[in-house]
Structure 1
Amino acid sequence: MSLTGFKGLNITQLKLIAIILMVLDHIYEFFSYTNVIPIWFTWLGRLVFPIFMFAMAEGFYYTKSKEKYMLRLYIGSAFMGIFNFLIVEIFPRPDSFPILNNIFGTFFITVFYLYYIEKIKENKQNNKNIIPTVLIIIVPFILSFIPALTTMISNNLGINFNSNVYVLLNGFIPSPLFVEGGPIVVIIGIIVYSLRNNRNKQVIAYTVICLSLYTGGGFNIQNLLYTNYQWMMVFSAVFMLLYNEEKGNGYKYMFYIFYPSHIYILYLLSTIIMLK
Structure 2
Amino acid sequence: MSNSTLKWIAIISMLVDHMGAVLFPQVIVFRAIGRLAFPIFAFLITEGFIHTQNINKYIMRLGVFALVSEIPFNLAFYGRWFYLGHQNIFVTLFLGLLAITLYEKYRVVDKQKADGYLFLMLFGAFIINSDYSIFGVLMIFVFYIFKKDFKKIVIWNVIIVLSMVLPNWAANAFILNPWLILQLGALVSLYIIHLYNGKKGKQIKYLFYMFYPVHLIFLYIASLNFFF
Do both proteins adopt the same fold according to a TM-score greater than 0.5, normalized to the shorter chain? yes
Give the RMSD, CA atoms, in angstroms: 2.9
What's the counterpart of residue 188 of structure 2? Answer: 235
Which of 178, 184, 188 matches 2:135?
A: 184
What's the counterpart of residue 219 of structure 2? Answer: 266
What's the counterpart of residue 13 of structure 2? Answer: 21
Output the amino acid matched with 2:99: Y
8 Å contact 2:92–2:132 — kept in the other structure? Answer: yes
What's the counterpart of residue 101 of structure 2? Answer: 115
Query: Which residues in structure 2 correspond to 1:162-173 (within 5 Å)?
Result: none
C-alpha separation in 2, matches of 1:58 and 1:70: 13
Runs of 5+ unmatched residues, structure 1:
1-8, 145-174
Output the amino acid matched with 1:55: L
Question: 1:55, CA displacement in angstroms?
Answer: 1.1
Output the amino acid matched with 2:183: Q
- Residues 47 and 262 of structure 1: CA distance in aligned 2, closer, same or farther (over 3 Å): same
Output the amino acid matched with 1:182: S
Question: 1:13, CA displacement in angstroms?
Answer: 0.3
Question: 1:60, CA displacement in angstroms?
Answer: 1.1
Runs of 5+ unmatched residues, structure 2:
none
Pairs aligned (count): 219
- Residues 182 and 67 of structure 1: CA distance in aligned 2, closer, same or farther (over 3 Å): same
What's the counterpart of residue 52 of structure 1? Answer: 41
8 Å contact 2:96–2:140 — kept in the other structure? Answer: yes
- Scaled by the length of structure 2, the TM-score of the pair is 0.83
8 Å contact 1:176–1:186 — kept in the other structure? Answer: no
C-alpha separation in 2, matches of 1:212 and 1:82: 29
Q: What SS is found at the alignment partner of 1:55?
A: helix
- Scaled by the length of structure 1, the TM-score of the pair is 0.70
Output the amino acid matched with 1:233: A
What's the counterpart of residue 67 of structure 1? Answer: 56
Output the amino acid matched with 1:21: S
C-alpha separation in 2, matches of 1:141 and 1:212: 15
8 Å contact 1:213–1:231 — kept in the other structure? Answer: no
Output the amino acid matched with 2:131: E
What's the counterpart of residue 92 of structure 2? Answer: 106
Higher percent of residues as helix:
2
Percent identity of paired positions between Structure 1 and Structure 2: 28
Output the amino acid matched with 1:48: A
